[in-house]
Amino acid sequence: MNDDSTLSLSDAELDELDLFLRRHNTEDGPLLDGVHGLLTALSVGPEPARPDEWLPEVLHAPFADAAEGNRILGLLARLNDSIAVEIEDERYEPILGEVDTDEGGSALSAAGWCHGFAHGINLRAGLWETRLEQDQELMQLLGPVVALAIDAGALDSDDAVEPLDDATYDGFLAELPDTVGALAEYWRVHPPTAREQALAGGAGGHGTGTGTAAGRRGGRLLH
């Protein structure tokens, strides 16, 4: 077990990063749950991504203030680095949103996280798609994420799919930490082969076939 828990952001730091993203990202930019989903997919996937690959997917405009920029970049770097540690220590939890219900209450929402995760897969689309065509185990492991992502509109389905009922939705939410851990273990044990690298076009095989842009969602942030 990794004893370094200092990477993980405090609640106050998460709120700080969330507020920055809400103020500065446009309708095309992810909020904190989307960023967390994006970085999670890259962390558990077939190949890691350099900051110069994922930062443009998160920040769409230059910083107006250098000190603020350094602060936000530091928080994003720690958020990214903390994910692998939390997965290894079996204490990973997805950052989810909260939406208002018709009954006047609130409920957890994985929509933003799923949009981000789908986009993270998309940044390594060639490798994911090549393996998914060959290994049904990977699709089975992705099951809870796929179900939530289709429900959120983050992934398309060829067939008409009914919205998930509350109990099923909550069940898939509860499975996300174990699902993320299982995906990380899968790619650790079964890394991309040289042939898959070649088929994917090298450098992760960027593509557009699997995911969508890291989207926004309404509601409040939970962590």
CB 181 within 8 A of CB 90: yes
**Tell me: the pLDDT tens digits for 32-50?**
999 999 999 999 999 999 9
Q: Does residue 176 fall inside a structural domain? A: yes
Which residues form the domain of 53? Answer: 11-221
- What is the CATH classification number for the domain harbouring 30? 1.20.120
Cα 161–Cα 142–Cα 212 angle in degrees, nearest 5:
65
Rounded to whole angstroms, what are the CA distances from 117 to 34, 120, 123?
7, 5, 10
Q: What is the mean pLDDT of residues 94-113?
A: 89
CB 111 within 8 A of CB 217: yes
Q: Does residue 198 fall inside a structural domain? A: yes
Q: Does residue 6 fall inside a structural domain? A: no
Q: Does residue 5 fall inside a structural domain? A: no
Q: What is the mean pLDDT of residues 21-28?
A: 84
Q: Does residue 161 fall inside a structural domain? A: yes
Higher pLDDT: 72 or 61? It is 72
Checking if the pLDDT of 208 tops 80, the result is no
Q: Does residue 105 fall inside a structural domain? A: yes
Q: What is the mean pLDDT of the chain?
A: 88
Rounded to whole angstroms, what are the CA distances from 19 to 28, 64, 123, 169, 216?
16, 16, 26, 27, 14
**Tell me: the pLDDT tens digits for 68-100?**
999 999 999 999 999 999 999 999 999 999 888
Percent of the chain topping pLDDT 70:
88
Q: How confident is the model at residue 5 (pLDDT cuts 50, 70, 90)?
A: low
Q: Does residue 4 fall inside a structural domain? A: no
If one counts the domains in the chain, the total is 1
Give the three-state DSSP class for 143: helix
pTM metric for this prediction: 0.88
Checking if the pLDDT of 66 tops 70, the result is yes
Rounded to whole angstroms, what are the CA distances from 191 to 141, 158, 185, 199?
15, 29, 10, 14
Rounded to whole angstroms, what are the CA distances from 86 to 58, 91, 94, 95, 175?
21, 5, 11, 13, 16
pLDDT at 40: 98
Q: Does residue 101 fall inside a structural domain? A: yes
